[in-house]
Structure 1
Amino acid sequence: MTNEINLVDEYDIAIVGCGPAGLSAAINAAIRKKKVGIFGSEFCSPKLHHAPHIDNYLGLPEMTGDELRQRFLAHVKKMGLKIKDSKVTGIYPAADGFTLQSRDTFYQTKSVILATGVNTVKPIEKELDYLGRGVSYCATCDGPLYKGKKVIVLAYNREGLEEANFLAEIAEEVIVVSQVKENDARGIRLAEKIKQIPGKPVAILGEMWSTGVKLEDQELKADGIFIIRESVLPDQLVPGLNVSNQGIVINRECATNIPGVFAAGDCTGLPYQLSKAAGEGQVAALQAVKYLDELKNKAKKLATV
């Protein structure tokens, strides 16, 4: 995290994800008079959007997925809630809850609900071993460490190309290995000093510190490596979070192993069902409200001692 924090908003409950679980959590938390922040993407719930028909959502038969998605969004809008088009790259413990990081912007919240959906991200070999030791997921955060040095950007989305341009203002040399589809990259012009190398990354190279990237047909050397994807692995998003090979580990109250952090929907594992996601979103919101109310009561008791 950077030394200078640009703190723009404070919430009672921050919800990461704007699919059915996240939106269900948002409206339930708002009904309970909590200040809610919803962090999503430019297009909420593409999985639901692409469903040709939904027949098993109670009370709303014979609807297309997008019709139901539009109803969810309209409900949220009617509640006066807005979705921030912000990718959260880190959630860290703070004095009064948690700090959420989105590039160089930080948000304060008393509790968190993770509703990030199914995570299909598969780290390349040795990626997690070198995270924080030359490998980073945030160019804005760690870019200044590589002033005058050589860096590699593994770009899996449009944001990766934008971050490469940012790094070109700092680093001496920038190499981009892009996995971005041509349509998604349209309109982005890379800085002249950036060198693009085709190939598929398969591993991070290094000893005590990362020294480069192995592609299928060659090896690239650099002082730092930035990996920019659409989403961050849950246990990297929230350090210390208990995650199994099925998803984020929760109890019946949708609570994780970290007090104040809850999870709901597909990110908690099977079954990947709409009703389950919406139901867990409600449970997570009500339990987050209960958690906040208990904190408030404890503070009052301490104040009267």
Structure 2
Amino acid sequence: MSGLFKKKETAAQAADTQTQTPTPEAHEWLIPEEGRDQLQKVFAGLPGDVTIEVYTGGDPKNLFDDYARRFVADLALLAPRIKPAFHGLDSDMARKRGVTLSPTLLFNPEEYRIRFTGAPLGEEARAFIEAIFLVSARTSGLSQAAKTILAQLDGARSPRVFSSPGCPYCPAQCANAIKCAIERPDLVSAECVNADEFPDLSARYGVGSVPHTQFDESYKGIGLMPEERFVVELVALKDAERWLNEHAAKGGAHGAGTGQGAGSDAGVEVTETDLLVLGAGPAGLSAAIYAERSGLATVVLDKGIVGGQVTVTPVVENYPGFADIAGIKLVEVLSSHARQYATIRENEGVDDIKLGRRIEVHTPRNVFLARAVLFATGAQWRKLDVPGEDRFYGKGVSYCASCDGFVYRGRKVAVVGGGNTALTDALHLRNLGVEVTVIHRRDTFRAEKALQDSLTREGIPVIWNAVVEEVMGDTEVRGVRLRDTKTGETRDVPFDGVFVAIGHVPNSEQAADLGVDLEPDGSIKVDRHMRTNIPRVYAAGDVIGGVRQIVTAVGSGATAALSAFEDLQQPRWKKDKSA
């Protein structure tokens, strides 16, 4: 720990408040130089002041406290608009604000009730930076549909989002809560909690998977939600589908825009574009680059966040040019390149698609009129489909080691599967300090030899020739029931968590609804140019099946974009009719 910040911790305890920021010459930087340069540029446009109050305890060995103080001090030096104030946990100000945990960081507490409980390590820092921009602008950034729903709120809400440093989905969920607190400061307070730093608080709410959103003491949601869905569940304190069904039964469904139905398009923006890409994974991003460079105006939509499955891949070792790179870092490289050309809109799912002279695509916020559409919708995790799996999802059952691994440090978990994903997850969990056992239904792995060698080197045990028959537990996972695939015998094995990595299911439902032909496994059927059976509709990436690798997704995305360009210049389907 820096001696400079040890002194300041002591000073903060002696005095009630410390607001003085160290000068750059005397400052020991926490943020790397490259990051400082980038932040300084983006912070130059902050329109208003942002007060960040930092509350820390008196333990000089608390590295989270040290990080929080240093991080905010760095930001204050990079942006004159950021006004830091440092307080002790036993100060009068801490009592006034109701702060009891260390570290806690508050944003403009005289205007809003927005707090980060825990140091904004890892991915949480993204939400922290976004909060600075939103608070500075004094605007929520919510869509009109979300604002309309939130205007119906008539009681106090205090959404608490639990996250972890390795969860790429968590910042967007935290941002949902923060936006609501800015839009309705009279009724909404937002809290983003680092679940890893506060295990007792996490245990109190049964956090087993992140993002975990506690809307109130009794209602919770697991996973990243589209903005409109988050607002519906915040207001209604019930599942969005249930809320929509109730309103429809009463004749009150009026297009709330939760991403669950088309609804009304009144007041939404209409955008014309040449190519609309559905999905911002490697295939969608590469397609955007190639399409724009070919002269096609391109918009990319994703119902979640940019990157797809790569975002939650701990380490990528087989992408040309990168011998060893974290999945999230590779996504940053790809998305940064794509953003130089195309518009990318995250957290915007598609409600409806209509074929016509222009392909009409409806989202909760926009209507897009496109000359062509590319499905790069990827695939979702395949489930075990056994008793207990759904019941214990978020309570010990997980499909994302990057997201939830931190929760299980020092505990015993099973990784189910035998491919690259399963072995990569097992190695990642072991690196986090989790006791891991791999369960595989065969007597050999199908994963790359390099991963198998790493598993052996790490001494990770494997239960061969076994399938999970049931996930067992009470309020959370306690173990699994295994069946030997050779003898048929069953046995119960205790585990605190189960990470499922048994493959993927293509996200092809909307394509099928449009009339696109599918393969027997549900993947979209394409020719070698990535054309589907419907003119001006293309597909690429994991949704077309085959070898699901990052490099093949990138290649198919580029191919699809070039096919779209060629067809829009000289329509292939018109040639076919005249032949």
Task: Give the distance between the partners of 1:9 and 1:41, measured in 2 at CA.
Answer: 18
Name stretches of at least 5 consecutive residues in structure 2 with no aligned partner: 1-261, 384-389, 396-505, 575-579
1:239 positional shift:
1.9
Helix, strand or coil: the match of 2:570?
helix
**Shift in CA distance, 36/241, structure 1 to aligned 2, threshold 3 Å:** same
| From 56, 59, 71, the counterpart of 2:318 | 56
Name stretches of at least 5 consecutive residues in structure 1 with no aligned partner: 123-155, 157-177, 183-230, 299-305
Task: Give the distance between the partners of 1:242 and 1:235, measured in 2 at CA.
Answer: 11
Task: Give the distance between the partners of 2:374 and 2:316, measured in 1 at CA.
Answer: 26
Paired residues, what number?
195
- What amino acid does structure 2 have at the position aligned with 1:116? T
1:281 positional shift:
0.2
Matches within 5 A, 1:31-70: 31-70=293-332
Q: Describe the superposition over 1:38-81 as per-residue Cα deviations: whole angstroms up to 9, x where unpaired.
A: 10134223521222221211122211111111101111122253
- Structure 2 counterpart of 1:105: 366
Helix, strand or coil: the match of 2:325?
coil
Task: Give the distance between the partners of 1:44 and 1:235, measured in 2 at CA.
Answer: 19
Helix, strand or coil: the match of 2:355?
strand
| From 249, 257, 266, the counterpart of 2:533 | 257
- What amino acid does structure 2 have at the position aligned with 1:239? L
| From 335, 344, 349, the counterpart of 1:87 | 349
Helix, strand or coil: the match of 1:82?
strand
With the length of structure 1 as denominator, give the TM-score of the two structures: 0.57
- Structure 1 counterpart of 2:186: none
**Shift in CA distance, 35/25, structure 1 to aligned 2, threshold 3 Å:** same
- Structure 1 counterpart of 2:517: 242
1:73 aligns to 2:335 (yes or no): yes
**Shift in CA distance, 80/4, structure 1 to aligned 2, threshold 3 Å:** closer
Task: Give the distance between the partners of 1:93 and 1:179, measured in 2 at CA.
Answer: 41
Helix, strand or coil: the match of 1:55?
coil
Matches within 5 A, 1:110-259: 110-119=371-380, 233-235=508-510, 238-246=513-521, 247-259=523-535
Between structure 1 and structure 2, the one with the greater Rg is: 2
- Give the number of the structure with larger relative contact order, counting CA–CA contacts within 8 Å between residues 6 or more apart: 1
1:288 positional shift:
0.5
Does the CA contact (< 8 Å) of 2:288 and 2:341 recur in 1? no
**Shift in CA distance, 236/116, structure 1 to aligned 2, threshold 3 Å:** closer
Please give the root-mean-square deviation of Cα atoms over the aligned residues, in Å.
3.0
Does the CA contact (< 8 Å) of 2:278 and 2:374 recur in 1? yes
- What amino acid does structure 2 have at the position aligned with 1:40? D
**Shift in CA distance, 233/278, structure 1 to aligned 2, threshold 3 Å:** closer
1:276 aligns to 2:552 (yes or no): yes
- What amino acid does structure 1 have at the position aligned with 2:524? I
1:106 positional shift:
1.7
Task: Give the distance between the partners of 1:20 and 1:79, measured in 2 at CA.
Answer: 15
Does the CA contact (< 8 Å) of 2:512 and 2:518 recur in 1? no
| From 285, 290, 301, the counterpart of 1:23 | 285
Helix, strand or coil: the match of 1:107?
strand
With the length of structure 2 as denominator, give the TM-score of the two structures: 0.31
Going by fraction, where is strand more abundant, 1 or 2? 1
Does the CA contact (< 8 Å) of 2:377 and 2:507 recur in 1? no
- What amino acid does structure 1 have at the position aligned with 2:369? Q
- What amino acid does structure 2 have at the position aligned with 1:66? I
